[in-house]
C-alpha cells in the first residue's frame, strides 16, 4: 500500500464517510499552516506578493477611481488568487511542492478553479441581494426597490430570504469542489452532496471558527496602527503578513474538510468510473 501522508496529515487509501471533527480540523489547519508557512510561501511567492500589492493599492484608491480600473484590479486579484489557492491545495492534499519559481502559471487548473469560484458566487448572489449590508451597492439597490414596492415588495423579500438560505446551504457544501478541481478531480456534484450530507453546520462552523480569531486580530492590529498615527501604507503592509496566514488557514480548513468528507485524491474520478460501470 502506497504512503499517502501529506504535509498536513494522513491521506488514507481507505475512506469511510464520517462526521467532520470541527475542532480537530481547526487544530490541524493552524498547526499545519504554521509548520509549513515558509514552504508554502516559497512555492508561490511572486503571485502572493502581487496579490498583496494589488489589495493594498485597492484599499487606498480614492472613491473617484473609475469603475473599469476597479474591475480590472478585481479580475487580476481573482486570477492571482486562483494561482495561489491551487498551489496551496495541491501542497496540502497531494504533497506537490514543485511551485512555480518566479513565474505565474495560469492554466487549465486555474481556469477550472475560477469557473467553480464564479459558480459559487452565483449561489451567494441572493444573500448579497436580500441579506447584504445596505452599504453594498446591489443590496442597497434591492432594498430601495423593495421599500417602494409595497406588499409586493414584502412578498419578494420573503422569497428572496428563502432563496438566500437555499443558496447559502448549497454554497457551503459545494465549496469542497474548490480543492477537488485543484487536484485535477472531475466536477462530481452528486458525490460532494452525498458525502457532505449531515455536515452543513459542521462545515459552516469550521469556516467561522477557523477565521474569526485571525480576523479579529487583524482588525485590532490595523486599528492600533492607525490610532497610533502609523502611515496607512505601513499599517497595511504589516497587517498583510497576518492576512497571508489567514489565507493559508482558510485554504487548509477547506482542504482538510475535503480530505475527511470526500476522501483521498482520485475519489471523485473513481466514483464516476463506478457509475459508468453500473
| pLDDT for the residue 130 | 84
Cβ atoms of 22 and 206 closer than 8 Å: yes
What pLDDT does 136 receive? 73
> pLDDT tens for residues 226-274?
788 777 777 777 777 788 888 899 999 999 999 999 988 887 777 666 6
- C-alpha separations of 266 from 12, 194, 257, 258 in Å: 12, 16, 16, 12
Measured in Å, how far apart are the chain's first and last C-alpha atoms? 27
Cα–Cα distance for residue pair 143/122, rounded to 1 Å: 19
Closest CA to 6 of 38, 29, 23: 29
Q: Which residue has the cell 477547506?
A: 254
Query: What would the pLDDT profile of 169-202 be if each residue is shown by its tens digit?
Result: 999 999 999 999 999 999 999 999 999 999 999 9
Specify the pTM.
0.83
9: phi then psi, degrees, rounded to nearest 5: 160, -165
Beta bridge partners of 9: 6
Q: What is the band of 41 on the pLDDT scale with cuts at 50, 70, 90?
A: confident
Residue matched to cell numbers 513565474: 103
Count of Cβ atoms closer than 10 Å to residue 35 Cβ: 12
What cell does 8 get?
498536513
* CB atoms inside a 10 Å sphere around CB 118: 10
Q: Give me Rg for the CA atoms of the chain.
A: 20
Percent of the chain with pLDDT over 70: 89
The pLDDT, as a whole number, for residue 57 is 81
Tell me the pLDDT band of 5, cut-offs 50, 70 and 90. very low
CB-based contacts of 239-243 (< 8 A; 24+ apart in sequence): 240/52, 240/55, 240/56, 242/214, 242/217, 242/218, 243/52, 243/55, 243/218
Amino acid at each position: 500500500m502506497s504512503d499517502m501522508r501529506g504535509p498536513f496529515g494522513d491521506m488514507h487509501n481507505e475512506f469511510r464517510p464520517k462526521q467532520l471533527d470541527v475542532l480537530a480540523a481547526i487544530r490541524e489547519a493552524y498547526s499545519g499552516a504554521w509548520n509549513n508557512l515558509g514552504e508554502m510561501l516559497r512555492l508561490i511567492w511572486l503571485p502572493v506578493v502581487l496579490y498583496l500589492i494589488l489589495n493594498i493599492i485597492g484599499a487606498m484608491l480614492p472613491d473617484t477611481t473609475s469603475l473599469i480600473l476597479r474591475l480590472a484590479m478585481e479580475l487580476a486579484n481573482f486570477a492571482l488568487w486562483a494561482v495561489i489557492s491551487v498551489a496551496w491545495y495541491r501542497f496540502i492534499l497531494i504533497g506537490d511542492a514543485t511551485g512555480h519559481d518566479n513565474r505565474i502559471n495560469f492554466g487549465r487548473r486555474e481556469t477550472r478553479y475560477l469557473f467553480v469560484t464564479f459558480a459559487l458566487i452565483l449561489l451567494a448572489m441572493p444573500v448579497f441581494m436580500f441579506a447584504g449590508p445596505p452599504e453594498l451597492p446591489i443590496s442597497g439597490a434591492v432594498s430601495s426597490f423593495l421599500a417602494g414596492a409595497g406588499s409586493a415588495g414584502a412578498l419578494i423579500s420573503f422569497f428572496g430570504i428563502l432563496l438566500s438560505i437555499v443558496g447559502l446551504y448549497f454554497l457551503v457544501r459545494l465549496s469542497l469542489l474548490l480543492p477537488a478541481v485543484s487536484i485535477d478531480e472531475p466536477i462530481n456534484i452528486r458525490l460532494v452532496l452525498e458525502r457532505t450530507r449531515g455536515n452543513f453546520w459542521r462545515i459552516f462552523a469550521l469556516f467561522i471558527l477557523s477565521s474569526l480569531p485571525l480576523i479579529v486580530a487583524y482588525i485590532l492590529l490595523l486599528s492600533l496602527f492607525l490610532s497610533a498615527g502609523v502611515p496607512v501604507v505601513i499599517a497595511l503592509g504589516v497587517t498583510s503578513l497576518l492576512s497571508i496566514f489567514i489565507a493559508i488557514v482558510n485554504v487548509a480548513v477547506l482542504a482538510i474538510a475535503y480530505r475527511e468528507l470526500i476522501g483521498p485524491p482520485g475519489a471523485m474520478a473513481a466514483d464516476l468510473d463506478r457509475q459508468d460501470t453500473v
